[in-house]
Structure 1
Amino acid sequence: MYDRRPPRSRMTFETDDRARVTLVSHPFGLRITGEIDRGNRHLLAGALTWALLAGSHDIRLDLSGLTFIDVAGMRLIVTAAARLSSDREVILDPISPAVRRVLSLTGWDQAPGLRVCS
């Protein structure tokens, strides 16, 4: 079971040899760095599940340090955005060129509940 309380400060949620997910309390969200693919997608899935349950705020994802994300990983983000109530969003800010490319190729930059910045 995930602790539903927002973190008091930045802390590492989960990490492996290729990716790191860090909780950020203000603005509420996650910083995801490294590479997300089949081998470690569970890190992203777990962190997004926690963020969906942890509060009533928008969820800001800092993806500026993400050097690679496969389509299935991006689908996790889009699906999380779609699961939010209409008064919440998943905000991608900032994002890396790799993320921008996947969003553009899939058309998910216009997905419901998802706001792409910078």
Structure 2
Amino acid sequence: MRQRRGDGPDTPVIELPRRAAELAVLPVPGRPGLRLVGEVDCATRHILDAALETMLGDAGDVHLDLTELTFIDVGGATSLVLWASRLRGGRRMILHDPPYELRRIIDMLWGQPATIEVDPP
């Protein structure tokens, strides 16, 4: 604990430790897709975007296992929706076990995008 300059000796300032967000992107065994582990925010969104870009040329639906995704901000949700909108030929992005917050953000801002499916519904 330390004190602010100019404040009296009885004015403590609590400093919280800074923690950087972490995101791991792993393959999904047996099908085209990615498993996201950790958090997607402004510090890790570039990792998500780069991983999604590698999936664009693949055939079939893209599966995202979000079981271990602990946080995603609006920017991360936007990346998912924009990337899914680039899928052609009837391909879809299938979100497996997305956090409630992600489902809510997508629903509030984009309704039900045609290229995104949530499993389980």
TM bracket, shorter-chain basis? 0.7 to 0.9
Max Rg structure: 2
How far did residue 99 of structure 1 move?
Answer: 2.1
The 1:103/1:70 distance shift into structure 2, 3 A limit, reads same
Say yes or no: does 1:90 pair with 2:93. Answer: yes
Tell me what 1:7 maps to.
none
Instruction: Find the counterpart in structure 2 of residue 101 from structure 1.
Output: 104
Contact 1:78 1:111 in 2 (8 A): yes
Q: Give the secondary-structure state (helix, strand or coil) at the position aligned to 2:56.
A: helix
Partner in structure 1 of residue 47 of structure 2: 43
Q: CA RMSD in A?
A: 1.7
Separation in structure 1 between the aligned mates of residue 94 and residue 107 of structure 2, nearest angstrom: 16
- 2:31 is paired with a residue of what secondary structure? coil
Listed as ranges, the gaps of 5+ residues in structure 2 are 1-19
Cα distance in structure 2, aligned partners of 1:96 and 1:78: 15
Aligned length: 101
Question: Which of 34, 37, 44 lines up with 2:38 in the alignment?
Answer: 34
Partner of 1:63: 66
Q: TM-score, normalised by structure 2?
A: 0.74
In 1, Cα distance between equivalents of 2:91 and 2:110? 21
Quote how far apart the aligned CAs of 1:67 are.
1.2
SS in 1 for 2:50: helix
Task: Quote the offset at 1:44 in angstroms.
Answer: 0.2
TM-score by length of 1: 0.76
Q: Percent of pairs identical after alignment?
A: 36
* Aligned 8 A contact 2:21 2:41 in 1: no
Give the structure with the larger helix fraction: 1
Whole-Å separation in 1 of the counterparts to 2:91 and 2:117? 10
Tell me by how many angstroms 1:35 deviates: 0.7
